[in-house]
Structure 1
């Protein structure tokens, strides 16, 4: 499992008013009834001259399957923005699982998070789960 947690101090403007703190997160996981599973989370915060993001990715595959995970983050302290993205995939001969989560901290301080997971068994319809939040509130 990969875990990424980073904070970046933002430039403070002299005489600026106390800023509101916003947080948000999203996460999804595929069903764990089969031989493969994947799950991701992503979250962020902004306020008081700082932005931060964090995320996790976890994938598992049994019976000779393959699993991969990745997590990355970017910061721009000039305009108080941050971005985090996590992905996880797992597959074997008859099943596939994929999960993705991403958080963006916008210049206005909004924290937007979304995640999606897909689980597909051979011959069946895919099971898709989505979650979206803005400043912690479902959208």
Structure 2
């Protein structure tokens, strides 16, 4: 796979030869907080099949909601629909789960490997309309690189 963005290249180098998902999520979220401007939270929620929910994983930012039922909020909806969701104004998103009242916009990208759902990457911003189409493409490429480095337990 050709890696185009500098951010995705950095992630690939950071995760090469590391197979621990928790360590990889921790470093990926730290990289995002280090490199992205006007972002207040970046982290992962992983899927728990027997509870049909997303549970908080490694992140950078303020404390966060721990359990998100599939289909609820931006994260649960992105996971259920298996598509990236960009929200210009979180107060306009039906069923938005407000973990941080300072969050104004959000992007969530679903994560899977070999057809098995893993979870989502969630990024919040303290300003409205923070995430553009270009940001979405950059972050989707970032997640493709991340997916190459995760281990799915069956």
TM-score (norm 2): 0.29
* Bigger CA radius of gyration: 1
TM-score (norm 1): 0.30
Report the structure, 1 or 2, having the larger helix content.
Answer: 2
